Amino acid sequence: MATQRYSVTPHPIETLLTWVKSGEIAIPEIQRPFVWDATKVRNLLDSLYQGYPVGYLIAWRNPSVRLKDGTTSSGKRILIDGQQRVTALMAALLGQEVLTKDYETVRIRIAFHPVEERFEVSNPAIRKDAAWIPDLAAVFSPDASLTELTDDYSERNPAADRKQVSRILERVRKVINNHVGIIELAEDLDIETVTEIFIRVNSAGASLSQADFAMSKIAANDTYGGNMLRKAIDYFCHLAVAPEFLSRIEKGDKAFAASEFLPKMRWLKDVNDDLYDPSYTDMLRVAFTSEFRRGKLQDLVALLSGRNFETKQYEEAVAEEAFARLKTGVLNFINKTHFDRLTMILRSAGFITSSLIRSQNAINFAYILYLRGRAEGMPAADIERLVRRWYVMSLLRGRYSGSPETAFDFDIRQIEARGLTAYCEAVIDAELPDSFWSTLLPQEMETSSASSPYFLVYQAAQAKLGDLGFLSRDITVRDLLLNRSDVHHVYPRNHLKKQGMARGRYNQIANFVLAQSEINIVIGDKAPEIYFAELADQCDGGVKKYGGITTLDELRANLSMSCLPETMLDGVIPDFGDFLEMRRHLMASKIKTYFEGL
């Protein structure tokens, strides 16, 4: 028979609120502040008043840990589903302030009309209307007297039936006696099982990631500064996208503004670079893997809970050390020098705009390598070369596209065992042998996805090598990428469509070049044999139609930069299928030259 992994117990809302106030249940703000709007809070209170069910809450008890003095402390319950509902009750009934998604602290006031038995979000009109009780928190205040509330309301509304008002206010106060079911998950469950239960119980089907659980563990800990650490992670990610948000933190969160974290991220206020805008998941991965030499975030959750992997016991000392190390990892992540150096390395490899960035996990591991190299005292030039090469290799081989956690864990453990440089160079050699460039890469480039890693790396290679745009005399690919480039079809799209060709065929990346829009427009739908003949004529004193190139040598060099067969100028226009095959090999060869120079 299967073991029961949880218990379900109904508890009065009053008990639940008492637990939250005393810290028996921690609301960790798993990955966000309070996101409900006030009407949802009103609807929740109305459901309770009507006696409707309001769903289950899911709590996961932290493991009991052994304290330094040898005694055992039983773990807090962490609310992993139901945060928004409990926060709504705390706000509406106890008058507590909540943090909005814009990180502003506000009071949500719900008004009640005793005659009509109606709840509404409080507003200036309601506050002026004597028929309303403008803030329900007054009814639930510990020192509120039902008699006084009734007297006060009756005085303001002489026409109301006093007894009826008294009965209704009594009924409102009793909503906190309503029971809500708490599903309590066993403390020894692993994260996968907890996630599975969450998804099955939560009808909205929102999934929780390992990073969500880690954030909940961090936020629920006030002994080792977890709550402040969680804010540091949240705020940094928010500031990276919206630098103007700094003044709001300074005004609205004085405690955080006074902490050691804010001065270390204030530099973001002047940054408008979006090459790497990390999410809290990215930040946790990098901070954890670089500092703990492990890649699976479920291990972070276990360590923050105090799990000793040797003895399989939970110990306070392990939790304390885990929080200290994670904090070090986070401070290393947000360090301006480190962050700037990482984006500089990416740029130096030709990844000069966010449009060339598709894999956050490849960047995350590049950052981990950079931080490991720094920690080991590697010379800066060696770190840069290693990170560039590893990053490009991981893109070309899709190293972190499948199950990144497993790949992170494997790579970091191998680095630990075999040494950073030795392991990375061995992997690069094994992943990119000669046969990769000559056979596998041209095969992989048979794709119509403009966001495929191969086309992105090809564009980075052109930027790094200083190539000129297709048929441009002075404008470089770098200029085009930074300003406005057109992806031009060498064999024009409409020309191929007229031949009945399907989209996946004419949009092959081997048919793409980067060109100035004016050159793209002039070529239009012309067949390649027509415009290549006109190009040859342009270099023989003919009409200047396509850009400013007027000598054959210059034109041949330009075609070579764009990996196009120079024989096309001699009137040798291959069949489209043959052209794609030739060009894939030329593009693969360019990427190889680029990679060898990184």
Q: Which tens digit of pLDDT belongs to each residue from 495-511?
A: 999 999 998 999 999 99
What's the pLDDT band for 57 if we cut at 50, 70, 90? confident
What's the pLDDT band for 166 if we cut at 50, 70, 90? very high
Reported pTM: 0.81
The count of other CB atoms within 10 Å of the CB of residue 445 is: 21
- Tens digit of each residue's pLDDT (9 = 90 or more) over 12-48: 999 988 887 787 777 655 334 667 888 999 999 999 9
Give the mean model confidence (pLDDT) for residues 427-433: 98
Give the mean model confidence (pLDDT) for residues 41-58: 89
What's the pLDDT band for 65 if we cut at 50, 70, 90? low
Question: Lowest-confidence range among 390-394, 477-481, 570-574?
Answer: 570-574
Give the mean model confidence (pLDDT) for residues 145-151: 92
Q: Which residues contact 384 (CB under 8 A, 6 or more apart)?
A: 345, 348
Give the mean model confidence (pLDDT) for residues 567-581: 92
Measured CA to CA, the distance from residue 22 to residue 229 in angstroms comes to 22
Q: Which residues contact 61 (CB under 8 A, 6 or more apart)?
A: 74, 75, 76, 77, 78, 184, 185, 186, 187
- Note the pLDDT of residue 59: 85
Task: State both tokens at 417.
Answer: 């065992």
First vs last C-alpha separation in the chain: 59
Measured CA to CA, the distance from residue 475 to residue 519 in angstroms comes to 12
- Note the pLDDT of residue 1: 41
Q: Which residues contact 565 (CB under 8 A, 6 or more apart)?
A: 559, 572, 574, 579, 582, 583, 586
Answer whether residue 351 shows pLDDT above 90. yes
Average pLDDT over all residues of the chain: 90
Measured CA to CA, the distance from residue 75 to residue 78 in angstroms comes to 9
- Note the pLDDT of residue 3: 62
What's the pLDDT band for 551 if we cut at 50, 70, 90? very high
- Note the pLDDT of residue 526: 93
Give the mean model confidence (pLDDT) for residues 128-150: 92
Tell me which range, 62-76, 101-115, 492-506, is most confidently predicted by mean pLDDT.
492-506
Task: State both tokens at 510.
Answer: 């081997």
Q: How far is CA 353 from CA 4, 273, 295, in A?
A: 52, 9, 28
- Tens digit of each residue's pLDDT (9 = 90 or more) over 534-549: 999 999 888 888 888 9
Give the mean model confidence (pLDDT) for residues 173-180: 92
- Tens digit of each residue's pLDDT (9 = 90 or more) over 295-313: 999 899 889 988 898 998 8
- Note the pLDDT of residue 484: 73
Answer whether residue 368 shows pLDDT above 90. yes
- Note the pLDDT of residue 207: 60
CA angle 325, 328, 329 (to 5 degrees): 90
Give the mean model confidence (pLDDT) for residues 214-234: 87
Q: Which residue has the higher pLDDT, 47 or 103?
A: 47
Answer whether residue 219 shows pLDDT above 90. no
Question: Lowest-confidence range among 28-42, 371-385, 570-584?
Answer: 28-42
Give the mean model confidence (pLDDT) for residues 150-167: 93
- Tens digit of each residue's pLDDT (9 = 90 or more) over 188-214: 777 667 767 776 666 554 566 788 888
Q: Name which of 116, 125, 134 is nearest 49 in CA terms.
A: 116
